[in-house]
Chain A
């Protein structure tokens, strides 16, 4: 039993580390803008295509591409919010939600037109190397990705907790009107939060692609997982999202082990529904 359980849990945790980056971006956007960003999975997909293009066409290793893709996705997030989502929704919550849905439909299908629905993956020099950890055989790429994820999540935490911009973002998240009186422009912080949240998907894309595939619909695979993590941790909570991500990674991994490949994934939506119905403030939140 241990021989089966240990590798599954370990794999889940490693996967959860990368999920954490996706979810941290989503929870940041939720915490500041108070909207559910339906375009988050789509933006991750765009990032994954960037990584794929760099790797397959120019031979750039996904890990080396991380700074470039993260910055590029951040810029895209900024442009999307200030150029499209912000103006179109005029700050109304329902319209913001629908605007992110519109962006998601447009980009998912736009990428389908540009790249067709084919599924693509990349092979790197280290694609097939593995290491033994106890009874588990772990792909090196997953270990490296987990390490990168911890570093990026730490950098994000430092940005939010220690920098002046991070303070301003937190101020707007708590009390937009009060922040305005202190000379902070909330609209600007919304754009910064959206940009940083989107940049997270860029980093996650670099860490996912060495062991995952990409196609124009791949965002849908991650969006529900990311939402599940965010509600598990409590909407808008950073530490919660980080723990929630590891938990969801393990849940998914154990689902595959005990329920099989095809039924296993059901644990994620079921967890999601159960948390929202019974503990809507998350596992660690006040009920």
Chain B
């Protein structure tokens, strides 16, 4: 059963490479980014129970890091991947550390992350360093060494690797001491603390990991579209998307965000084919979320236990 599932997922992941259609590759790329983002959210939000409403902050940090390093300092885009990851990890670590120290969790944590993402958006929108509301355009220079590809399938491959890495982090969490501590904190922080778990440090580590992976999706986004602005990089809706992918599929499971990303992405593409009005596809997301929490609170991944 488990092996059949993995084989099926691998087949789905590899299928887009068979098609030479750029439209198919583009769809696959966006789906892989959705899965990667949801899986990244899942690291802290699912396994750590840290309901982040502001994960877009990490995405935006990644996108702006690569754009600024390239346009201002001429850094090679490949090099910006680890740098963006490291900066986002530091941001995540600090946010989580401060929140833990102040005893903020649950809804309060959600609200703080929401406010931080909004503060980042306003900063990006007003500083000259980030070119304010104009946003940053990257020069078109199609070359593998420049992390720009004419064939979207290569971008898809990169996004797939990030999604796979995020999934492996989740798998590692279910197997490691770190993961055991993290899940223990989610279930009962006081009990975990009494057993000698460093709650602040473990949570900070989880948000750092989660933030780093999210930043990588931001870098890929910037390379694919060659343009970012404050609303693209720090818009609230992207935080919600990442969260929905994890929640709909099943947060706190390894396979959940993969299912969630595929289901939501197919839903949005499919509905766009039918009715192409702005807002229609996201409105369906709202209905799906309400249905999931009403009928299937654990997400699709819990179906097999039912």
Contact = CB atoms under 8 A, between A and B. Distances in A.
Contacts of B135: none
Nearest to A99: B293
B4 interface: no
A277 interface: yes
B103 interface: yes
Given A109-B283, A110-B279, A276-B102, A97 B107 contact: yes
A88 B285 contact: no
A93 B293 CA distance: 12
B115 A272 contact: yes
Contacts of A266: 119, 122-123, 126
A99 B287 CA distance: 10
Contact of B119 (A84, A107, A116, A270): A270
B277 A113 contact: yes
B294 interface: yes
B267 interface: no
B289 interface: yes
A285 to B, nearest CB: 14
Contacts of B110: 36, 97
Contact of A106 (B106, B277, B290): B290
Contacts of A231: 111
A93 B51 CA distance: 13
Given A102-B286, A224-B115, A280 B132 contact: no
B280 interface: yes
Nearest to A88: B294
Given A262-B125, A266-B123, A276-B111, A102 B283 contact: no
A94 B297 CA distance: 10
B124 to A, nearest CB: 10
A278 B277 CA distance: 44
Interface string B100-137: 00111011101110111011001101110000110000
A87 interface: yes
A89 B292 CA distance: 10
Interface in A260-287: 260, 262-263, 265-266, 269-270, 272-273, 276-278, 280
A108 B287 CA distance: 12
Contacts of B289: 98, 101-102, 105
Contacts of B107: 35-36, 93, 97
A277 B104 contact: yes
Contacts of B122: 262-263, 265-266, 269
A98 B108 contact: no
A255 to B, nearest CB: 10
Most buried by A among B103, B279, B289: B279
B154 interface: no
B247 to A, nearest CB: 7
B249 to A, nearest CB: 14
A103 B294 contact: no
Contacts of B283: 105-106, 109-110, 112-113
A260 B102 contact: no
A117 interface: yes
B189 interface: no
A104 B277 CA distance: 18
Given A224-B118, A276-B102, A103 B290 contact: yes
Nearest to B115: A269
A227 interface: yes
B278 interface: yes
A216 interface: yes
Contacts of A104: 286
A101 B107 CA distance: 12
A95 B119 CA distance: 27
B98 interface: yes
Nearest to B95: A273
A220 interface: yes
Interface in A72-94: 84, 87-89, 93-94
A273 B123 CA distance: 15
Contacts of A263: 122-123, 126-127
**What 3 pairs across the A-B complex have the smallest Cβ distances?**
A112-B279, A106-B286, A105-B286
Interface of B: 51, 98-99, 102-104, 106-108, 110-112, 114-116, 118-119, 122-123, 125-127, 132-133, 236, 240, 247, 277-280, 282-283, 285-287, 289-290, 293-294, 297
10 contacts: A36-B107, A88-B294, A97-B107, A102-B287, A109-B279, A113-B277, A220-B236, A262-B133, A273-B112, A273-B119
Given A112-B283, A269-B122, A277-B99, 4 more contacts: A105-B285, A113-B278, A113-B279, A277-B102
